[in-house]
A = this chain, B = another copy of it.
């Protein structure tokens, strides 16, 4: 993996990550493929939306279908027929989400499989081994996520455990790579909403050394102002020559704010999950197809969008499919929302290259239609 920044405008960066499996232009949004498919879409459709890299998940795939199956296929790319790069999450966040079903010790985490109740053990070494078997282009360190809200002392303890696990993840990664591969491992900055802890976490990770740095533990219920404060605390300390990945974020508005704060990569279930619930992102704001006013609207979802839904189908048709719970409705909406996200990324990249990102961001954030996203 090779990363270069090709343009900057304030903190905002336009860049390119080169992988053996293809290039990724940043800022980049990564659709989430939890179970070896981005829900509803074929890999060919993903490409038409502009997806350059997608997210896989060590936790979910180790439980279903199990690593023996994916190994037998030669990795996740072959299993799901996606030939472009894949970033895999380590499972840290999913294990943390299990709450009372997990038991944490210094060595790792034990939990009950939510699929079949089996006892499962996950450690930094185990997670890296799984991600290696998935043949991830970018692996993530196995970390502990910090609850929100939480005291500074607890956040510090959790962050330091994550640092220890990051060092173990790195050693396991290098052992498995044996200098041969082009794969990358990213560290994950933790430390809750405490700027000092965040900086300590980043310094510790940089001391270990990673191909990229992620900011974790956000999008866990905190107000926007706290999230921006964390990014602000890190912006001057994050190494300029490495990609920066803001995990689990977010709405179009969140992405504009994060790019303005110097972040390069993003993942989130919002565009895909909202699509299945009938919520669509458009150049005129978000709309919910269940709204009665779309019942007889023969116009497109978004006249400015080049996707199959907007080019060939009406709002009324989409609403009808949603009413009848037809699979095609979820598909077309997912195709549209991902197209919208990737086009937003491309618009930001153009604005950065043209030196007018701050105007773009100010205009976008001031526009009433993008100010809120109803969650469903």
Contact = CB atoms under 8 A, between A and B. Distances in A.
A-B residue pairs, 8 tightest by C-beta = A65-B320, A35-B324, A40-B327, A37-B328, A81-B312, A37-B326, A69-B316, A72-B298
28 contacts: A35-B321, A36-B321, A37-B321, A39-B326, A41-B328, A42-B308, A42-B331, A44-B308, A64-B323, A65-B295, A65-B316, A65-B319, A68-B296, A69-B296, A72-B296, A72-B298, A73-B298, A79-B314, A79-B316, A79-B317, A80-B317, A81-B312, A81-B313, A81-B317, A327-B327, A327-B330, A327-B331, A331-B331
Interface string A24-48: 0000000000011101111010000
B39 A323 contact: no
> How would you classify the secondary structure of chain A's contact residues: helix, strand, loop or mixed?
helix
Contacts of A312: 81
Interface of A: 35-37, 39-42, 44, 64-65, 68-69, 72-73, 79-81, 295-296, 298, 308, 312-314, 316-317, 319-321, 323-324, 326-328, 330-332
A172 B328 CA distance: 34
A44 B42 CA distance: 13
A69 to B, nearest CB: 5
A140 to B, nearest CB: 22
A42 B317 CA distance: 13
A246 B154 CA distance: 72
Contact of A317 (B36, B313, B327): B36
A80 B79 CA distance: 33
